[in-house]
Structure 1
Amino acid sequence: MYELFILGELMTGEKHGYMLQDVLKNSVGLGRKISSGTLYPLLSRMTDAGWIHLRVEEETKGGRTRKIYGITEAGTERFVELMAAPFDSDWDIETQYTFRFKMVYFQYVTKEIRMECLNQYMRLLMKNLKTVSDFEYYLLANKPEPEKQRVQLLRVFDHRKRLAETEIQWIKEEIERVQAQKN
């Protein structure tokens, strides 16, 4: 997921590590952060792999140097590969973040890749909705004890179903919008 984010951000132009860290922090929200201890080793591995290049720039304030990263041709190929890669079959927060990142960088890939991403995400949403609905049906049919917990679980599943239904509707509209676009 972080590789996709870094390569996607570098598709927009060169950036220094702190800027990448700041954009990521603001992209994923309050619940998720990437530490310098995670980001900079990843940038080093991506540089070693030839996906990004590093340019060292002298910084005038404080005499520190600044490392500026840019994407290479191999990095662009890797970016497209990651954008076209299928999601994991499990519905989890990583899948949701990956989808959000892919959406941000849709303008850098073909319509076919965008459509496959949206359709695959739709299938995951539908699978998730079915799982929630099946468990809700089980709770209603079998009425396990304690009742207070069952009632609250039903409230939680109602919330999850409504969120899924809203997201499914949005994805349907997005699929229609992308289908109407020219390549």
Structure 2
Amino acid sequence: MYELFVLGELMTGDKHGYQLQDILANSVGLVRKISSGTLYPLLSRMTEAGWIHLRIEEETAGGRTRKIYGITEAGRRRFHELMEKPLGTEAVAETELLFRFKMVYFSYVDKDVRLACLEQYLQMLEKSYQHVTSFERYLLTVKPEPEKQRVQLLRVFDHRKRLGEADMQWVKEEIQRVRMLEE
């Protein structure tokens, strides 16, 4: 997933490691942190794989060197492979993050790739929604104890259903919008 992020960001132009880390930190949200210990080994592996290249520049202010990363032609091919790859069946939170990364880079892929990604995400949302409503029906029918916990769990499910409905509606509208685009 972070491979896609790095390649996607480099599709927009060369960046140094700190820029990538800063953009990634803002992309993944407040809960998740991406350390230098995760990012820089990934950049090294991607350089070794030939997907990105490294250029070292000397900074004038402090005399420190700065590593600038750029995407290679092999990296562009890898980026398109990752964008075309189905979302998969990872944990919902991972799939949501991957979906958000892919959406950011939709402008670099064709309409069919965008639609496939949106439709896969919609299927995941629908499956999750069905799971919540199914368990909600179980709680309403069987009424397991303790009652206070069951009642609060039903509130949680009501929240999840409302979020799911809003997400599904937005994705359906986005699918329609993308279908209408000229290529």
- Check whether TM > 0.5: yes
Q: Count residues with an aligned counterpart.
A: 183
Q: Structure 1 residues 37, 90: CA separation in 2 closer, same or farther (over 3 Å shift)?
A: closer
User: RMSD of the TM alignment (CA)?
Assistant: 0.7
Structure 1 residue 63: deviation in Å? 1.2
Structure 1 residue 88: deviation in Å? 2.1
Alignment check: 8 A CA contact 1:52 1:72 kept: yes
Partner in structure 1 of residue 86 of structure 2: 86
Structure 1 residue 90: deviation in Å? 4.1
Q: Distance in 1 between matches of 2:91 and 2:9?
A: 25
- Is it true that 1:114 corresponds to 2:117 in the alignment? no
TM-score normalised over the length of structure 1: 0.98
Gaps of 5+ in 1: none
Partner in structure 2 of residue 23 of structure 1: 23
Alignment check: 8 A CA contact 1:91 1:128 kept: no
Identity of aligned residues (%): 70
Partner in structure 2 of residue 104 of structure 1: 104
Partner in structure 1 of residue 143 of structure 2: 143
TM-score normalised over the length of structure 2: 0.98
Match runs of 1:138-177 below 5 Å:
138-177=138-177
4+ aligned runs moved over 3 Å, structure 1: none
Partner in structure 2 of residue 68 of structure 1: 68
Encode CA deviations 1:105-124: one digit per residue, 9 max, x unaligned: 00000100000000000000
Q: Distance in 2 between matches of 1:39 and 1:28?
A: 13
Encode CA deviations 1:124-156: one digit per residue, 9 max, x unaligned: 000000000000000000000000000000000
Structure 1 residue 91: deviation in Å? 4.4
Gaps of 5+ in 2: none
Q: Distance in 1 between matches of 2:71 and 2:168?
A: 34
Q: Distance in 2 between matches of 1:62 and 1:156?
A: 53
Amino acid at match of 1:56: I
Amino acid at match of 1:174: E
Encode CA deviations 1:35-60: one digit per residue, 9 max, x unaligned: 00000000000000000000000111
Structure 1 residue 32: deviation in Å? 1.2
